[in-house]
Structure 1
């Protein structure tokens, strides 16, 4: 790497050596509950990658708290709690959700026992009826399919310390916003915001979601690997969740393996690959930390912003 790059580059072995022996871990059972569907990472990933990462973020959050307290003292303002906000971005099927859930579990076990909340930007997609009215169902996940104004207001309010923020809920079963259901975010110490769009910027906007982040992560991998993971996940869903009559994708449950492969590959190329190239991957350089995965889902290299 260019010695004047904005990032320090570390391999897996170098990073794993940064683990503190006192860092609290999670059980194998909790690891299995928190890893994503078809995310075939090993429990060793917690030891080698996520424990050092949890400690690194803990140091960042502690420094941010100290700076906030010092500023409040200088300005003679009340020391209201300001959440430390982490954004996690990356492609569909790359394993963002697993990264977010593992970090939520590990960070909540730090000695100061912070309240760590996790929200996803899926809840800020426009409802399907709106997307259908606007002819955007095949653009779901692209910037125009999100209610960005509502997302920005939500993150701004949480960062400002406003209590009891209501976050819309999304169902991957119905492939739609769930009317009448919401997640209540009550003044957390740490907030994790996960989604493909969290590092994106637009020309006509003056404020971006990432403006409210204290730390950001991009989960990266070779596009050919991500495509393979997406197709494999589709095949597993065909044999599981798609069989539920209430599933939006129930029609795919009866596909043969060849038909399912063809369908998944087509969806990837027409929608997800296009979105990755145009809107997601270009945001990678805006992250403070890049986790680079190999073909087996294991994180091989890390790039830390200087």
Structure 2
């Protein structure tokens, strides 16, 4: 049976204590009106939560970012020659429907306002999913989001290229409307100071990729890792709520992968969403995502109302 406890070596904080760690020089430039730009579909966020949770986290990340530059300066001094800029990579992982995208977008905005004004890029590992036609041929379409559904070699090669300072790197674009990779569309990542990498699979240790694990893990290239956590009963409810809201809006689009559910009564759609959760997302969570949680540097634990109730910092 899977151990669901968050084990040592973590220090646990409540939001009030965590809020006290904010660097006095870290200023919040966002307003209530700004928050809508960072909210993923069906997520929730308040300005107080930004001040008390995310601003201290931004301060912590800035300390790591600056200390890493100090270490690079030591290497340059030792070698007696300058080195190319090496991006600082922050990963954000967690279950489907937990709110990873909200965390990623918000941190991007906060980091861009650091005094040093770093250039920040954000991508999701969804862009490295295999296209649906490949998943259908390999009978993996029903396991989209599982380790085998990703082109891990391409993802790791991208991370290697970005660490080597290569410019204008192409990341495939994934559409949540068509539920597939968009042909010939790319996000360009051009030598950022900070890269935020968001996805369910970024903390997996390589045992899920037996053909590649002796070469590298995704986590080999990550400088700081964040896991957004919640009890599964909340995750499933958020997934079902999101499914029903999408049914009212996006499902009516004939290009939508889930268009076949557009005219279902809510009761039937809710039953289908629960079946999808149990058959796919629950299994992926238990087998692949949750076992990697304790490998994170920081865990943000959400409660029933989407708000963060506990913070776990790796010692």
TM range (shorter): over 0.9
Of 228, 236, 251, 2:237 maps to 228
Aligned residue runs from structure 1 range 130-279, under 5 A: 130-203=134-207, 204=210, 205-206=213-214, 207-279=216-288
**SS of 1:179 mapped into structure 2:** strand
Deviation, 1:285, is 0.8
The answer as to whether partners of 2:89 and 2:197 remain within 8 angstroms in 1 is yes
The answer as to whether partners of 2:35 and 2:46 remain within 8 angstroms in 1 is no
Deviation, 1:80, is 1.4
Deviation, 1:73, is 1.1
**SS of 1:219 mapped into structure 2:** strand
Q: Deviations over 1:79-107 (max 9, x none)?
A: 31110001110000000000000000000
**SS of 1:217 mapped into structure 2:** strand
Aligned to 1:305: 314
**SS of 2:220 mapped into structure 1:** helix
Q: Deviations over 1:84-131 (max 9, x none)?
A: 001110000000000000000000000000001001000000000100
Deviation, 1:19, is 1.9
Aligned to 1:37: 41
TM-score under structure 2 length normalisation: 0.94
Q: Where in structure 2 are there 5+ consecutive unaligned residues? A: none
Name which of structure 1's ranges 89-98 and 198-207 shifts more when overlaid on structure 2.
198-207
The answer as to whether partners of 1:41 and 1:296 remain within 8 angstroms in 2 is no
Matches of 1:60 and 1:199 in 2, distance apart?
A: 19
Of 267, 291, 311, 1:282 maps to 291
Of 95, 98, 106, 2:99 maps to 95
Deviation, 1:43, is 2.6
Matches of 1:27 and 1:155 in 2, distance apart?
A: 34
Q: Where in structure 1 are there 5+ consecutive unaligned residues? A: none
Matches of 1:74 and 1:198 in 2, distance apart?
A: 32
Name which of structure 1's ranges 282-291 and 20-29 shifts more when overlaid on structure 2.
20-29
Name which of structure 1's ranges 278-287 and 41-50 shifts more when overlaid on structure 2.
41-50
Matches of 1:31 and 1:79 in 2, distance apart?
A: 38
**SS of 1:14 mapped into structure 2:** helix
Of 51, 55, 60, 2:55 maps to 51
Deviation, 1:202, is 2.6
Say if 2:33 is the partner of 1:24: no
Matches of 1:76 and 1:5 in 2, distance apart?
A: 41
Deviation, 1:42, is 2.2
